[in-house]
A and B are shown apart, each in its own frame.
Chain A
Amino acid sequence: QSVLTQPPSVSGAPGQRVIISCTGSSSNIGAGYDVHWYQHLPGTAPKLLIYGNYNRPSGVPDRFSGSKSGTSASLAITGLQAEDEADYFCQSYDSSLSGLFGGGTKLTVL
């Protein structure tokens, strides 16, 4: 069981909007640690999508956005495209210097 909880799967049709949640606790996200999001395609290295809760690295489309509130965070993807089909992971840290990943969410574009 991951310390950060994500839904196992989400789906949406092309053009639609989906949201992936990431729920932590007062020991990690709620303690003020930033949340980061990654996109992972099979056979490739994970790609940083969102850092510091809501910031996008250069090259990441603005269709991807992040937010954080209390002990939870969310990744929103608008204008879904077939190429967005992948696994998505949230990540944070805690006071013991441990990195924490969510269990991952498989996005299916219908």
Chain B
Amino acid sequence: EVQLVESGGGLVQPGRSLRLSCVASGFTFHDYAIHWVRQAPGKGLEWVSGISRNRNSIGYADSVEGRFTISRDNAKNSLYLQMNSLRPEDTALYYCARGYSGYESGLDIWGQGTQVTVSS
């Protein structure tokens, strides 16, 4: 079965760090770009970051630029999101999602999400 499974979410204080992971199975991970997308409570979807299959293209939303770092380990079929200097407005359900064909493509496979709550 083709799937993505996120982990690493939790409750964290403002200013602290958290590292999210996304493990892929059922497809050739290194052939696809992968993105992080989040949804804050009562809000819409917000694109957070993306990384191409060979890491040549990496992008960040303005809201996380300089604080979040995306990376991938193709040998482990894994994607990561290192989140530093967390803010209450980073509270959201974080999804990883696969680009069906290249970096700027639609996202055809999504995980179920991992919840991040930033609060003192």
Interface hits, B76-120 → A, CB 8 Å: 95, 97, 100, 103-108, 110-113
Q: B47 — nearest CB in chain A belongs to which residue? A: A99
Size of chain B's interface in residues, with CB distance under 8 A?
26
Q: How far is the CA of A45 from the CA of B45 in the complex (A)?
A: 11
Interface string of B26-55 (1 = CB under 8 A from A): 000000000101000000111100100000
The minimal Cβ–Cβ distance linking B49 to chain A, given in whole angstroms, is: 8
B59 touches A99 (CB 8 A): yes
Size of chain A's interface in residues, with CB distance under 8 A?
27
Q: How far is the CA of A101 from the CA of B50 in the complex (A)?
A: 13
Q: B112 — nearest CB in chain A belongs to which residue? A: A45
How many A-B residue contacts, CB cutoff 8 Å?
72
Interface string of A80-95 (1 = CB under 8 A from B): 0000000101010100
A101 touches B44 (CB 8 A): yes
In the complex, B12 has a CB within 8 A of chain A = no
Q: How far is the CA of A87 from the CA of B106 in the complex (A)?
A: 17
- Chain B residues with CB under 8 A of A45: 95, 110-113
The minimal Cβ–Cβ distance linking B115 to chain A, given in whole angstroms, is: 13
Q: B111 — nearest CB in chain A belongs to which residue? A: A45
A38 touches B58 (CB 8 A): no
In the complex, B57 has a CB within 8 A of chain A = yes
- Chain B residues with CB under 8 A of A46: 37, 45, 95, 97, 107, 110
- Chain A residues with CB under 8 A of B105: 34, 36, 51-52
The minimal Cβ–Cβ distance linking A2 to chain B, given in whole angstroms, is: 7
Q: How far is the CA of A78 from the CA of B84 in the complex (A)?
A: 45
Question: What are 12 A-B pairs at a CB distance below 8 A?
Answer: A2-B44, A34-B105, A36-B107, A45-B111, A46-B37, A46-B110, A91-B107, A93-B103, A99-B61, A101-B46, A101-B47, A104-B45
| Chain A residues packing against B (C-beta within 8 Å) | 2, 33-34, 36, 38, 40, 45-48, 50-52, 57, 87, 89, 91, 93, 96-104
| Chain B residues packing against A (C-beta within 8 Å) | 35, 37, 44-47, 50, 57-62, 95, 97, 100, 103-108, 110-113
